[in-house]
Structure 1
Amino acid sequence: MRHGRRVPKLGRPADQRRAMLRALTTQLLQNGRIVTTKARAKAVRAEADRIITLAKDGSLAARRQVLGYIYDKNLVHSLFAQVGERYGNRQGGYTRILRTVNRQGDNAEMALLELV
């Protein structure tokens, strides 16, 4: 049974999956958009929305939680500085998934994940 399971396993062990989601979330917050598979994009969307919600809170505890997930201090500092003006009125839904063409090698569904 998969009751309560939020993130699909993505064909990886738990430690590798956590590291991959962390890296993809960091790249999304740095660049504003990433191209990945649709399943990975759906998994990263939940993590990115959680990070942005914590940044909107702006408290010291929220900053420490984000620093525990994203290791780049400068990125976290700029995220906390900019998120108020960018997402101040928005009540969620900070990312957008756009489907693109399937990958040529294995026909995997690809998607463009970007910040709104």
Structure 2
Amino acid sequence: MRHKHGYRKLNRTSSHRSALLKNLAISLIQHEKIETTLPKAKELRSYVEKLVTKARVADFNSHRAIFAVLQDKEATKKLINEVAPKYVGRNGGYTSIIKTRIRRGDATQMAFISFV
């Protein structure tokens, strides 16, 4: 049983799952709105919100910590310089998930995830 289990496995190994979340986070930071499946969007929400919380401090240590997670210079710069300053006075809830459609190929619920 998975009572109070902490995360969704998304039918992937741990390394594949971490790479998936990293790439989704980079895409979300670059485009500020992406469409993905609902379970992926729900997992991405907690992943990205932790990064935004770190980025709100905007010092050298937070820059290094975020780059260590994302491994992308442009996304790190955009997150720290453009995205995070919008949420300095906000305690969490930086993203919103909007259900959109059911994908035709496999009947999966799709959703938009974007910054508020």
SS at match of 2:82: helix
TM-superposed deviation, 1:78? 2.5
Summarize deviations over 1:41-74 as a string: whole Å, max 9, x none. 0000001101100100223222111001112212
Indicate yes or no: 2:106 matched with 1:106.
Answer: yes
- Indicate the larger mover: 87-96 or 3-12: 3-12
Q: May I ask how many residue pairs the two structures share in their alignment? A: 116
| Structure 1 residues 7-26: aligned runs within 5 Å | 7-26=7-26
Q: Give the structure 2 partner of residue 80 of structure 1.
A: 80
User: TM-score scaled by structure 2?
Assistant: 0.91
Matches of 1:112 and 1:3 in 2, distance apart? 27
Long gaps (5+) in structure 2: none
- Indicate the larger mover: 86-95 or 69-78: 69-78
Indicate yes or no: 2:65 matched with 1:65.
Answer: yes
TM-superposed deviation, 1:16? 0.5
Matches of 2:7 and 2:95 in 1, distance apart? 16
Matches of 2:80 and 2:98 in 1, distance apart? 26
Matches of 1:104 and 1:90 in 2, distance apart? 38
Long gaps (5+) in structure 1: none
Runs of 4+ in 1 over 4 A off after TM superposition: none
Tell me if structure 1 keeps the 8 A contact 2:52–2:84.
no
